[in-house]
A = this chain, B = another copy of it.
Amino acid sequence: MIIVVKKGTKEEFIDNIKDTLLANGMTFYVLQGSSYVLIPVAGDLTTSDMGRFRSLKGVERIINISKPYFMVSKHYREKSIVDLGDGIDIGSDFTVISGPCSVESADSLDKIAAFLSGLGVKILRGGTFKMRTSPYSFQGLGENGVKILNETAGRYNMKTISEIVDVRHIDLFEQYIDIIQVGARNMMNFALLKELGKSSKPILLKRSANATIEEFLSSAEYIMAEGNENIILCERGITSFDDSTRSLVNIAAIPIIKEQTHLPVILDPSHSVGSFKYVPQVSEAAVVLGADGLIVETHYNPTNALSDGYQSLNFNHFESMYKKVLKLCEFKKENL
């Protein structure tokens, strides 16, 4: 923490700042700058709220140096791989997760799972409790959807991922789902995060559309601080004035996030871009930017999907994209 004090502040106010720091057991130094007095402070700041120093007389502003997270950072560990069992993990090789936006029926999901599994995809996604802006939109099949997802994936030896929207569903998800997804709109639902921190299941945490990287990692810290170290981060676009895509596709954030944390980072190109047309190119960009994988929506008939049809790939598009991405991964290993 650095306390910036206005030049010309009365000595008594500076003494008061010093006394307050001493009383809190902090080490500091006072440096006379040309337009400010700088007081850099060393000490454990997680136990007290830095904000309070801002209201001391003469203080212009407080600059925070420490990060509000530790366990998710590279200071704690160099690299994490999230093991899903049966030889499947996220973090060692590039992983493509796919499936429909929503589980619509057992038949339709089977068709999609058969196709994806045939290509080599090992993790099946499918929305069951949907988060929709309007209460009048399709809200998902709920518990029934969770079971269909579980059974379908079982037939093809696939792992499952689905979004949880209610802390009271944790038991249900733990029973049937392999990776519990926290959506962008729940990234700061700390009650949910803490509860998931006690779960034995891996958590995929999506970045909120208005969260800074620091806030994103702090939310992951909420989970990890409770004991669950199996976390996958997912970048999915941010809010911006540029409305040419559904969200602003923030793929260049991937290497920056990965420099801060040991956790695997994947991209959701479907929700970022909001249009199937750009999903393949954005997915390829994620590969060269060092992402650990993708979670991408696929449907055999996107026009009739019950939600998000426009951003889902059809089977032809998915197969083409998937093969290119794998080829690019090979190329990258040897050349980039």
The CB with the most chain B CB atoms within 10 A, among A49, A138, A194, A284, is that of: A49
A214 to B306: give the CA distance in the assembly, Å: 22
By beta carbon, the residue of chain B nearest A31 is: B40
A289 to B310: give the CA distance in the assembly, Å: 20
By beta carbon, the residue of chain B nearest A209 is: B210
Given A46-B134, A46-B136, A166-B191, verify A248-B245 contact (CB < 8 Å): no
The reply to whether A243 and B212 form a contact with Cβ atoms under 8 Å apart is: yes
Residues of chain B within 8 A (CB-CB) of A303 are 52, 55-56
The reply to whether A165 and B185 form a contact with Cβ atoms under 8 Å apart is: no
Residues of chain B within 8 A (CB-CB) of A302 are 52, 55
A311 to B49: give the CA distance in the assembly, Å: 13
The reply to whether B34 and A309 form a contact with Cβ atoms under 8 Å apart is: no
Binary contact readout A313-336 vs B (1 if CB under 8 angstroms, 0 otherwise) = 000000000001001100100011
Query: Of the 9-residue stretches A77-85, A108-116, A144-152, A217-225, which lies at the interface with chain B?
Result: A217-225
Is A54 interfacial (CB 8 A cutoff)? yes
A302 to B38: give the CA distance in the assembly, Å: 23
By beta carbon, the residue of chain B nearest A221 is: B135
Residue in B213, B244, B281 whose beta carbon sits within 8 Å of that of A290 in the complex: B281
Binary contact readout A213-245 vs B (1 if CB under 8 angstroms, 0 otherwise) = 111001001100100000000000011111111
Residue in B43, B167, B238, B285 whose beta carbon sits within 8 Å of that of A167 in the complex: B167
Given A255-B278, A288-B285, verify A225-B135 contact (CB < 8 Å): yes
Number of copies: 4
Binary contact readout A19-46 vs B (1 if CB under 8 angstroms, 0 otherwise) = 0000000011101111110101011101
Is A200 interfacial (CB 8 A cutoff)? no
By beta carbon, the residue of chain B nearest A302 is: B55
A residues contacting the other copy or chain, number (CB 8 A): 108
Query: Of the 9-residue stretches A64-72, A90-98, A117-125, A153-161, which lies at the interface with chain B?
Result: A64-72
Residues of chain B within 8 A (CB-CB) of A335 are 324, 327-328, 331
The reply to whether B251 and A248 form a contact with Cβ atoms under 8 Å apart is: no
Residue in B138, B166, B225, B245 whose beta carbon sits within 8 Å of that of A252 in the complex: B245
A329 to B133: give the CA distance in the assembly, Å: 36
In the assembled complex, how far is the CB of residue A58 from the closest CB belonging to chain B, in whole angstroms? 13
Residues of chain B within 8 A (CB-CB) of A133 are 68, 188, 214-215, 218
In the assembled complex, how far is the CB of residue A9 from the closest CB belonging to chain B, in whole angstroms? 13
A129 to B324: give the CA distance in the assembly, Å: 44
Is A103 interfacial (CB 8 A cutoff)? no
The reply to whether B68 and A134 form a contact with Cβ atoms under 8 Å apart is: yes
A285 to B289: give the CA distance in the assembly, Å: 7
Question: Which A residues lie at the B interface, using CB under 8 A?
Answer: 2, 4, 7, 27-29, 31-36, 38, 40, 42-44, 46-47, 49, 51-52, 54-56, 63, 65-69, 75, 129, 131-138, 165-168, 185-186, 188-191, 194, 208-210, 212-215, 218, 221-222, 225, 238-245, 248-253, 255-256, 272-273, 275-276, 278, 281-282, 284-285, 287-290, 302-311, 324, 327-328, 331, 335-336
